[in-house]
A and B are shown apart, each in its own frame.
Chain A
Amino acid sequence: EPEVTQTPSHQVTQMGQEVILRCVPISNHLYFYWYRQILGQKVEFLVSFYNNEISEKSEIFDDQFSVERPDGSNFTLKIRSTKLEDSAMYFCASSPQGALGKNIQYFGAGTRLSVL
């Protein structure tokens, strides 16, 4: 069964460093997303991406964050200068171009980001 894959599973970085989290969405999907879950809190939407541009972003997704689809398969989230509060589990998701009104998103296993 096709799945969303994320690498690495765990990333440790120093405060102020740049990190890139990588995702390979399901191959025939057209919509891509990033979410995060801080320990003990709910899953929060960060950004969605379609047709090589950002479709929607939340208040969390400030100038420190950027997304890119550098080739036909990868979808990346970059955090320019990490802060302690960026420590969280980051989930990538993708969805197909489904029937009108459906928004079924399929998630990867996540990357745990630890900022020291």
Chain B
Amino acid sequence: DQQVKQNSPSLSVQEGRISILNCDYTNSMFDYFLWYKKYPAEGPTFLISISSIKDKNEDGRFTVFLNKSAKHLSLHIVPSQPGDSAVYFCAASARGSGGGADGLTFGKGTHLIIQP
């Protein structure tokens, strides 16, 4: 039951170039999407999010794009820096029975490696 899929387990990018991480989802009820970054021995750290009513959200070096018709979102990091090396998780939320306290559905993650 993979409602959120990140098909690339790892991605290697040269420092200064653009990193593009991809995520696909199957559940049409998802209406809010988030990207988290995780270092070893730490919890997921919130990076950026987007509502289903938008197709783009930008915060500094990070931009998330949402294509609802394709059920696809991507995270762009530009320029990539060594500190960006981490595992990136895509997550989604559906407004459901939680009454606002809705659980997130996570992808398996993509390990981004920034090479000097």
Chain A residues in the interface with B (C-beta under 8 A): 4, 6, 31-33, 35, 41-50, 55-56, 58, 91, 93, 95, 97, 101-110
A45 to B108 CA separation, bound complex (whole angstroms): 13
> Majority SS of interface residues in chain B?
loop
Most-contacted residue by chain A among B89, B106, B108 (CB, 10 A): B106
Contacting pair B43 A48 (CB below 8 A)? no
Contacting pair A97 B101 (CB below 8 A)? no
Chain B interface residue number, banded: 20 to 34
> Majority SS of interface residues in chain A?
strand
Contacts known (A42-B108, A42-B109, A43-B89); A106 close to B103, Cβ less than 8 A? no
Contacting pair B31 A56 (CB below 8 A)? no
Give the A-B pair count, Cβ closer than 8 A. 86
The yes or no answer to B81 lying at the interface (CB within 8 A) is: no
A75 to B1 CA separation, bound complex (whole angstroms): 29
- A105 / chain B contacts, CB cutoff of 8 Å: 34, 46, 104
23 A–B contacts from the bound complex (CB under 8 Å): A32-B101, A33-B103, A42-B89, A43-B89, A44-B106, A45-B103, A46-B103, A47-B103, A55-B99, A56-B98, A56-B102, A93-B43, A97-B100, A101-B31, A101-B95, A102-B49, A102-B51, A103-B32, A103-B93, A103-B100, A104-B34, A105-B104, A108-B43
Considering only CB atoms, which chain A residue lies closest to B107 in the complex? Answer: A42
Contacting pair A103 B104 (CB below 8 A)? yes
A42 to B91 CA separation, bound complex (whole angstroms): 11
Q: List B80-116 residues whose CB lies under 8 Å from chain A.
A: 89, 91, 93, 95-109
Q: Which A-B residue pairs are the 6 nearest by beta carbons?
A: A45-B103, A107-B43, A56-B98, A48-B101, A55-B101, A31-B101
